[in-house]
Structure 1
């Protein structure tokens, strides 16, 4: 663990019983009290996550808008100042470089929040496509700490620490001047759990103080520190994709069912030609949801069989803490993706029955 990267909150983990693992080169807590307890805390009250390993790339300059419009699949023109856009960034062949959030400060200033495992790769990709655009590109990840406060009591807890009226921050909006316990923060109403909540960005020097203060303040409202384990089960139940699972260099946004975030009517963007062609021809495989009929828990990478033929593989699978059953996402040949279709998952060299269901297992509870 000594050679792994650490967030500014690393020293705080031990106080709360964090079990540390290697997550893509970072020393991060997979759990504190336990994955199920933390999962249920976020669904019913609140959980606080350290997500300071996420990447932040700042885009500034005269051509910031047109540069981003060419770089990503979604339409930057719909954004007003202080609004956020979910989007994908593709390679020329339509494969996904990453999925990310775009924060708009102005037409000349944006912040990209990218996945931790892709920060260096993304930064190189963004820079390599600068061409003749008049922009300045800076990887500021090392300067930023990020906390995610998620769950139905999140607003109640955070409001105790700020004079700012948090209900004014609507879903996928942000304010960069929120004082939390005397610390200036950028606060957005976003998250990766399927619940209402906030993501809080501040300087690394403030992170441990805020972490401790939020947990202290939220005690009577059921808050728990939460780790990567429940972060994954929560996002999965809400059908939120994870890069490396439901998205990758080999899985396009259209195959992942994210066509809504791909604006093929835009003049141009990297990967457009390949995605236009795939849309025209029809995808040959796509991400679906399934539930186990037989006993067993599906895991990432497990093969899926139909009529003795391998038709795809599991992208994510768990025993769902909320639904109390084993469920999964898989990428399958489109011939076998109709709701109700029976399939078999290879679990420990045995075929176990399952059936296709809607991939959104849990309805999100966020404020619009």
Structure 2
């Protein structure tokens, strides 16, 4: 692995240099915040399509006769329910129910799984998985060998279909196909997943073919309004869709249940899993703090770390993420709130710099796309 003291580069670094794209240090990776502008890129994804370099994400392979039982012990969702060709959202938890990471696993074969983890957690996650390894299982970290590109937006299928012979309509949400050719590039895994709230695909490709795939997609998607997008719009898009970000809505101190993600915590699956005991206690005793959505009534932009108060000036929580929504033209955010103050339409106040700005608790997600019938 590359030293953590040196900033890491994705396979698109030469593309960025040629096109004079400004890069920033994001968790030890050199990545663009924007190409032409955050709002422009955000709206492209909502209305047409956007292309994201997410090659900084980590990829592990779990293989062997005990791969399924190992992952079922390690993760919160039920791996036994998966079919080959299916992806599933999961959490890894500590024994106290806190979150190691949120991730997606894809079942490549009966005894072979791909695990995709958050970039900043790659080393920590791999070490955690090694510490809890058992049985006939081989664990491999292939993050340095794999590039990952996300094509997101209502025009994503139409754009990608121009470059491949497979019928993309056959790939349902949270499913994938392997060994796909896209243009002249072979052996791509095409997954119908993403992090924007829109329909779209994530394409796993060999590192040395990533730049060619990126440029091929941009060329064929130009007429459809496809734009390259950076970290800025990726964050505003995921926040409008109320998708959790590790280190904000999830952490070693914030459990999946607190993050309103109980759908991926299967208490009734046919085995124990790490953290189950404490997560079960949270459900039985009652969760004291939960992630809730809010909109500002007053003026300002909430940011992570801003304190939240009730109308009597009592501190009741903290903002985990906030932004000015380009789609809704409102200031929105997520906050970890005491459950006594998390009722819909409840009046709260966000401390932004030196001012207390009125806000209201609202239903999430803030934005939800109109899904086409498949």
**Same fold flag (TM > 0.5):** yes
Q: In structure 1, what is the equivalent of residue 366 of structure 2? A: 361
The equivalences for 1:94-113 within 5 A come to 94-113=97-116
The equivalences for 1:28-43 within 5 A come to 28-43=31-46
Q: In structure 1, what is the equivalent of residue 251 of structure 2? A: 248
Q: In structure 2, what is the equivalent of residue 324 of structure 1? A: 329
The CA distance in 2 between the partners of 1:95 and 1:290, in whole Å, is 24
SS at match of 2:46: helix
Is residue 2:23 matched to residue 1:20?
yes
Q: In structure 1, what is the equivalent of residue 168 of structure 2? A: 166
SS at match of 1:322: coil
Alignment counterpart, residue 279 of structure 1, candidates 256, 263, 283: 283
What stretches of structure 1 move > 2 A for 4+ residues in a row? 14-19, 364-368
Is residue 2:262 matched to residue 1:259?
yes
The CA distance in 2 between the partners of 1:361 and 1:204, in whole Å, is 36
Segments of structure 1 that go 5 or more residues without pairing to the other structure are none
The CA distance in 2 between the partners of 1:366 and 1:126, in whole Å, is 36
Is residue 2:151 matched to residue 1:149?
yes
The CA distance in 1 between the partners of 2:59 and 2:351, in whole Å, is 39
Q: Deviations over 1:11-44 (max 9, x none)?
A: 1124445331110000000100000000000000
Alignment counterpart, residue 346 of structure 1, candidates 345, 351, 356: 351
Q: TM-score, normalised by structure 2?
A: 0.96
Q: Deviations over 1:200-223 (max 9, x none)?
A: 001000001111111011110000
Alignment counterpart, residue 79 of structure 1, candidates 51, 71, 82: 82
Given the superposition, is the C-alpha separation of residues 201 and 365 from structure 1 closer, same or farther in structure 2, using an over 3 Å criterion? farther
Q: In structure 1, what is the equivalent of residue 202 of structure 2? A: 199
Q: CA offset at residue 364 of structure 1?
A: 3.2
The CA distance in 2 between the partners of 1:292 and 1:313, in whole Å, is 14
Alignment counterpart, residue 229 of structure 1, candidates 232, 236, 249: 232
Check conservation: 1:162, 1:180, Cα contact below 8 A.
yes
The CA distance in 2 between the partners of 1:147 and 1:26, in whole Å, is 15
Alignment counterpart, residue 59 of structure 1, candidates 59, 62, 84: 62
Check conservation: 1:255, 1:287, Cα contact below 8 A.
yes
The CA distance in 1 between the partners of 2:261 and 2:370, in whole Å, is 20
Q: In structure 2, what is the equivalent of residue 124 of structure 1? A: 127
The CA distance in 2 between the partners of 1:101 and 1:289, in whole Å, is 24
Q: CA offset at residue 163 of structure 1?
A: 1.2
Alignment counterpart, residue 179 of structure 2, candidates 153, 157, 177: 177
Alignment counterpart, residue 48 of structure 2, candidates 30, 35, 45: 45
Check conservation: 1:159, 1:165, Cα contact below 8 A.
yes
Alignment counterpart, residue 301 of structure 1, candidates 302, 305, 329: 305
The CA distance in 1 between the partners of 2:261 and 2:244, in whole Å, is 9
Q: In structure 2, what is the equivalent of residue 91 of structure 1? A: 94
Q: CA offset at residue 359 of structure 1?
A: 2.2
The CA distance in 2 between the partners of 1:3 and 1:118, in whole Å, is 16
Q: Deviations over 1:318-353 (max 9, x none)?
A: 000000010110000000000111111000121111
The CA distance in 2 between the partners of 1:346 and 1:359, in whole Å, is 21
Alignment counterpart, residue 269 of structure 1, candidates 266, 273, 276: 273
Q: Deviations over 1:219-239 (max 9, x none)?
A: 100000000000010011011
The CA distance in 2 between the partners of 1:18 and 1:354, in whole Å, is 37
Q: Deviations over 1:218-277 (max 9, x none)?
A: 110000000000001001101111111110100011111111110111220000001011
Check conservation: 1:17, 1:33, Cα contact below 8 A.
no
The CA distance in 1 between the partners of 2:26 and 2:369, in whole Å, is 26
Given the superposition, is the C-alpha separation of residues 36 and 17 from structure 1 closer, same or farther in structure 2, using an over 3 Å criterion? farther
Q: CA offset at residue 366 of structure 1?
A: 5.0
The CA distance in 2 between the partners of 1:194 and 1:183, in whole Å, is 27
SS at match of 1:360: coil
Check conservation: 1:284, 1:333, Cα contact below 8 A.
yes
Segments of structure 2 that go 5 or more residues without pairing to the other structure are none
Q: Deviations over 1:125-161 (max 9, x none)?
A: 0010013x21000000000000000001111111111
